[in-house]
Amino acid sequence: MRGLRGRRRALLGAASLVLAAGVCTGASAVGDRSFALIPLYSDGVVLDPHGSPALVRVGAEPVADPLQRAAQDAWLAEGTVPGPDRYADMAEQALRDLDALVLDDGAALAAASPYWRYVWPRDASFTAAALARTGHPDDAHAVLRYVQRMQQARSDDGLMHARYLPDGSGGVPDDRGYQLDGSGWVLWAVAQWWDATEGADPDALEELRPLVTASLASIRANVGETTGLPVASPDYWEVHEDRPTLGTLAPLLAGTRAVAPVLSALGEPPADDLVALLERGLAEFGPGYPRRLGGEERDTAVAFLMPPFAPADEQVEEVWREAAVGMSRPAGGLAPGEGWKEDGVSWTPETAVWALTAAASGDTEQAEHWLDWLDAHRTDLGSLPEKVLWDGSPSAVAPLAWTASTVLLTLDELDRQGVED
């Protein structure tokens, strides 16, 4: 497995780029361009004897606690390993990684490495959705309950911080502040969980009522009453913004649309008026759907306007296909956006989002293309890293929960499409 993955990665890299020698501090010179050199921080994660995630350093042999490994095997057997058989190894490892990254109290870590060992509402929402879709609804519910507790601990108006400490205190690690898109993502995740359970546990849904109502209220309070445009807020780029971004509006619309069955089950008023208002705001971004209102460059947010986040739309799909070209990077993956720095780095979360939206749109050929690329660029222990360098080397943290979750959701979509080997 280790040698095969390395050879395949090298072949894919050679097919997309002619390499030239030349290395300097922090960058690699290829032709007349300098590309980033970011080390791989870990090969993966295992559970220690206490059931906590323990990083496996690059080149080290994983030492998983036998009892914890057996418990994880039993946990896997309770659910499903989604997707065609040829992706089974990637799917199983992604599930094991998510299991390790979700703590006993439901805190869903973005990764186990320092500086990532926090709970992002955005990432946690994808983790909850993936767990629900793979037969682990109780774990998904625990993740959502944790996010709800953080929301209640730190906010009077439903807005959520960029990330929270995983200790249950409600504390935050820095001053990144609020990120409005989280309100939309958690609504979408609750809807995914409720749909996956087929409405079988209304008492568990009742426990999430505060999360649903507070998140909707935060959206209403931060969207223009006539324009439908959200206030300027950092989104998944996590940088200061001075105008509305599609990366905020699209998740708000996705969550508000998706939560309709949840509101009905809770006996809450429908949010059709808010959906219509956000759709009015979305029209201001069309027909090019740039990252920033009035801009030109596109980013991953256009994919948040595709299935499974939104109904199919021919104009959106055209822009989605064009954006992937502008976001492409030398190793074959995608950057977060067309305007992202030209450092040669592919980002796996964004690449996985393209796989998911392709699968949900019925373009299984493209979905499998992106899945094959992600599969070929895992670490030697099989985890999905955050980044891939220009030469195809896995980079930064591994595993990354957002990528693992999105890959699992993609494989689940292929199952829904009836795709087999």
Tokens 């094959």: give the residue: 372
Q: What is the reported pLDDT for 118?
A: 99
Arithmetic mean of pLDDT, 76-97: 99
The yes-or-no verdict on residue 333 having pLDDT over 60 is yes
CA distance 90 to 368: 13
- pTM score > 0.85 for this model? yes
Mean pLDDT score of the chain = 93
The yes-or-no verdict on residue 302 having pLDDT over 50 is yes
33 membership: H or E segment, kind and range: strand 33-36
CA distance 230 to 278: 8
Domains assigned to the chain: 2-416 (1.50.10.10)
Question: With 0-12 CB in 10 A as exposed, 13-18 as middle and 19+ as buried, what is 327?
Answer: buried
Q: What is the reported pLDDT for 375?
A: 99
Q: Which of 59-63, 255-259, 260-264, 306-310 has the lowest mean pLDDT?
A: 59-63
CB atoms within 10 A of CB 235: 27
The yes-or-no verdict on residue 8 having pLDDT over 90 is no
Report which residue type is found at 354: W
* Residue 27's pLDDT band (cuts 50, 70, 90): low
The yes-or-no verdict on residue 16 having pLDDT over 90 is no
Arithmetic mean of pLDDT, 330-338: 98
Instruction: Answer with the residue of higher pLDDT: 155 or 33.
Output: 155
pLDDT tens digits, residue range 209-222? 999 999 999 999 99
The yes-or-no verdict on residue 314 having pLDDT over 50 is yes
Question: With 0-12 CB in 10 A as exposed, 13-18 as middle and 19+ as buried, what is 46?
Answer: buried
Non-local CB neighbours of 252 within 8 Å, separated by 6+ positions: 180, 181, 183, 184, 219, 223, 230, 278
CB atoms within 10 A of CB 297: 15
* Residue 294's pLDDT band (cuts 50, 70, 90): very high
The yes-or-no verdict on residue 28 having pLDDT over 80 is no
* Residue 3's pLDDT band (cuts 50, 70, 90): very low
The yes-or-no verdict on residue 248 having pLDDT over 50 is yes
The yes-or-no verdict on residue 363 having pLDDT over 50 is yes
Helix (H/G/I), strand (E/B), else coil: 23? strand
CA distance 175 to 244: 21
Contact 348, 360 (CB under 8 A): no
Contact 87, 375 (CB under 8 A): yes
User: Quick one: DSSP state of residue 232?
Assistant: P
Q: Rg of the chain's alpha carbons, rounded to an integer?
A: 20
pLDDT tens digits, residue range 106-153? 999 999 999 999 999 999 999 999 999 999 999 999 999 999 999 999
The yes-or-no verdict on residue 19 having pLDDT over 90 is no
The yes-or-no verdict on residue 370 having pLDDT over 90 is yes
CA distance 273 to 277: 6
pLDDT tens digits, residue range 390-405? 999 999 999 999 999 9
